[in-house]
Amino acid sequence: MAGSALKRLMAEYKQLTVNPPEGIIAGPVNEENFFEWEALITGPEGTCFEGGVFQTELKFPTDYPLNPPKMRFKTEMFHPNIYADGRVCISILHAPGDDPMGYESSAERWSPVQSVEKILLSVISMLAEPNDESGANVDASKMWRDDREKFYRIAGELVRKSLSL
Protein backbone atom coordinates (compact mmCIF):
# COMPACT_ATOMS: atom_id res chain seq x y z
CA MET A 1 0.00 0.00 0.00
CA ALA A 2 2.85 2.40 0.77
CA GLY A 3 3.97 2.16 -2.87
CA SER A 4 0.69 3.51 -4.21
CA ALA A 5 0.64 6.17 -1.47
CA LEU A 6 4.14 7.26 -2.46
CA LYS A 7 3.19 7.41 -6.12
CA ARG A 8 0.13 9.53 -5.30
CA LEU A 9 2.13 11.90 -3.05
CA MET A 10 4.80 12.32 -5.73
CA ALA A 11 2.13 13.19 -8.30
CA GLU A 12 0.50 15.70 -5.95
CA TYR A 13 3.86 17.30 -5.21
CA LYS A 14 4.56 17.64 -8.93
CA GLN A 15 1.14 19.25 -9.45
CA LEU A 16 1.77 21.71 -6.60
CA THR A 17 5.13 22.74 -8.04
CA VAL A 18 3.83 23.10 -11.61
CA ASN A 19 0.64 24.95 -10.64
CA PRO A 20 0.89 26.22 -7.04
CA PRO A 21 -2.26 27.73 -5.54
CA GLU A 22 -1.97 31.36 -4.49
CA GLY A 23 -0.73 31.76 -0.93
CA ILE A 24 0.55 28.19 -0.53
CA ILE A 25 3.98 26.60 -0.76
CA ALA A 26 4.07 22.90 0.10
CA GLY A 27 6.19 19.82 -0.32
CA PRO A 28 8.05 17.04 1.44
CA VAL A 29 10.42 18.01 4.24
CA ASN A 30 13.03 16.09 2.26
CA GLU A 31 12.84 13.96 -0.85
CA GLU A 32 13.86 10.87 1.11
CA ASN A 33 10.48 10.81 2.88
CA PHE A 34 7.36 11.85 0.98
CA PHE A 35 5.16 11.01 3.99
CA GLU A 36 6.16 14.16 5.93
CA TRP A 37 5.45 17.54 4.36
CA GLU A 38 5.70 21.14 5.37
CA ALA A 39 3.62 23.97 4.02
CA LEU A 40 3.62 27.73 4.30
CA ILE A 41 0.19 29.34 4.19
CA THR A 42 -0.37 33.06 3.92
CA GLY A 43 -3.28 34.50 5.85
CA PRO A 44 -6.33 35.19 3.71
CA GLU A 45 -6.96 38.79 2.60
CA GLY A 46 -9.61 40.69 4.48
CA THR A 47 -9.20 38.64 7.66
CA CYS A 48 -7.36 39.16 10.92
CA PHE A 49 -4.78 36.64 9.60
CA GLU A 50 -4.00 38.73 6.50
CA GLY A 51 -0.29 39.27 6.00
CA GLY A 52 0.72 36.37 8.24
CA VAL A 53 2.85 33.47 7.06
CA PHE A 54 2.03 30.27 8.91
CA GLN A 55 4.15 27.14 8.93
CA THR A 56 2.37 23.78 9.00
CA GLU A 57 3.27 20.12 8.84
CA LEU A 58 1.38 17.23 7.32
CA LYS A 59 2.04 13.59 8.14
CA PHE A 60 0.58 11.09 5.72
CA PRO A 61 -0.41 7.53 6.59
CA THR A 62 1.02 4.70 4.51
CA ASP A 63 -2.49 3.98 3.21
CA TYR A 64 -2.96 7.53 1.85
CA PRO A 65 -5.29 8.48 0.12
CA LEU A 66 -7.62 5.99 1.78
CA ASN A 67 -7.07 7.87 5.05
CA PRO A 68 -6.26 11.54 5.61
CA PRO A 69 -3.01 13.04 6.81
CA LYS A 70 -2.62 14.67 10.21
CA MET A 71 -2.01 18.40 10.02
CA ARG A 72 -0.55 20.74 12.59
CA PHE A 73 0.40 24.40 12.63
CA LYS A 74 3.98 24.87 13.80
CA THR A 75 3.37 28.63 14.04
CA GLU A 76 1.47 29.61 17.18
CA MET A 77 -2.21 30.12 16.32
CA PHE A 78 -5.35 31.32 18.10
CA HIS A 79 -8.35 30.01 16.19
CA PRO A 80 -11.55 28.13 17.05
CA ASN A 81 -10.60 25.15 14.85
CA ILE A 82 -6.96 24.81 15.89
CA TYR A 83 -6.01 23.04 19.13
CA ALA A 84 -3.48 24.69 21.44
CA ASP A 85 -0.80 22.25 20.20
CA GLY A 86 -1.46 23.33 16.60
CA ARG A 87 -3.50 20.33 15.42
CA VAL A 88 -6.09 21.29 12.83
CA CYS A 89 -9.70 20.27 13.42
CA ILE A 90 -11.52 20.43 10.09
CA SER A 91 -14.01 18.00 8.55
CA ILE A 92 -11.90 17.23 5.48
CA LEU A 93 -9.21 15.75 7.77
CA HIS A 94 -11.60 13.49 9.70
CA ALA A 95 -11.54 9.78 8.88
CA PRO A 96 -13.92 8.69 6.13
CA GLY A 97 -17.37 7.37 6.88
CA ASP A 98 -20.12 8.36 9.26
CA ASP A 99 -19.39 10.69 12.16
CA PRO A 100 -19.97 8.77 15.41
CA MET A 101 -21.20 12.03 16.99
CA GLY A 102 -23.60 12.68 14.11
CA TYR A 103 -22.26 16.22 13.59
CA GLU A 104 -20.75 15.84 10.11
CA SER A 105 -22.11 14.08 7.07
CA SER A 106 -19.86 11.52 5.42
CA ALA A 107 -19.67 13.86 2.39
CA GLU A 108 -17.90 16.50 4.53
CA ARG A 109 -15.28 14.07 5.80
CA TRP A 110 -12.17 12.69 4.11
CA SER A 111 -12.44 10.76 0.89
CA PRO A 112 -9.72 9.57 -1.49
CA VAL A 113 -10.74 12.20 -4.06
CA GLN A 114 -9.33 14.88 -1.74
CA SER A 115 -5.75 16.10 -2.20
CA VAL A 116 -3.07 18.08 -0.43
CA GLU A 117 -4.10 21.15 -2.42
CA LYS A 118 -7.76 20.77 -1.38
CA ILE A 119 -6.72 20.34 2.26
CA LEU A 120 -4.60 23.49 2.24
CA LEU A 121 -7.27 25.52 0.45
CA SER A 122 -9.83 24.27 3.01
CA VAL A 123 -7.54 25.39 5.82
CA ILE A 124 -7.25 28.87 4.28
CA SER A 125 -11.04 28.95 4.08
CA MET A 126 -11.23 27.80 7.71
CA LEU A 127 -8.95 30.66 8.75
CA ALA A 128 -11.30 33.10 7.03
CA GLU A 129 -14.50 31.53 8.33
CA PRO A 130 -14.07 29.67 11.63
CA ASN A 131 -16.63 27.10 12.72
CA ASP A 132 -17.29 28.09 16.32
CA GLU A 133 -19.90 25.32 16.66
CA SER A 134 -17.17 22.70 16.67
CA GLY A 135 -14.42 24.37 18.63
CA ALA A 136 -11.05 22.71 19.08
CA ASN A 137 -10.04 25.78 21.07
CA VAL A 138 -12.95 26.61 23.37
CA ASP A 139 -11.52 29.99 24.43
CA ALA A 140 -11.02 31.08 20.81
CA SER A 141 -14.53 29.86 19.89
CA LYS A 142 -16.13 31.76 22.75
CA MET A 143 -14.14 34.90 21.98
CA TRP A 144 -15.00 34.63 18.26
CA ARG A 145 -18.70 34.61 19.20
CA ASP A 146 -18.70 37.07 22.10
CA ASP A 147 -15.78 39.50 21.68
CA ARG A 148 -14.67 39.63 18.06
CA GLU A 149 -12.54 42.74 18.67
CA LYS A 150 -10.46 40.94 21.31
CA PHE A 151 -10.17 37.88 19.05
CA TYR A 152 -8.85 40.09 16.22
CA ARG A 153 -6.35 41.70 18.59
CA ILE A 154 -4.93 38.35 19.76
CA ALA A 155 -4.85 36.92 16.23
CA GLY A 156 -3.19 40.10 14.96
CA GLU A 157 -0.42 39.78 17.56
CA LEU A 158 0.25 36.22 16.35
CA VAL A 159 0.32 37.39 12.72
CA ARG A 160 3.00 39.94 13.63
CA LYS A 161 4.88 37.26 15.55
CA SER A 162 4.70 34.89 12.52
CA LEU A 163 6.51 37.50 10.44
CA SER A 164 9.36 37.90 12.91
CA LEU A 165 10.34 34.22 12.90
Collapsed DSSP state (helix, strand, coil) of residue 129: coil
Q: Which of 9, 89, 90, 119 is catalytic?
A: 89
β-pair partners for 49: none
CA angle centred on 23, ends 54 and 143, rounded to 5°: 50
Q: How far is CA 134 from CA 25, 53, 80, 92, 144, in A?
A: 28, 25, 8, 14, 12
Active site residue 89: yes
Q: How far apart are CA 5 and CA 36, in angstroms?
A: 12
Active-site residue list = 89
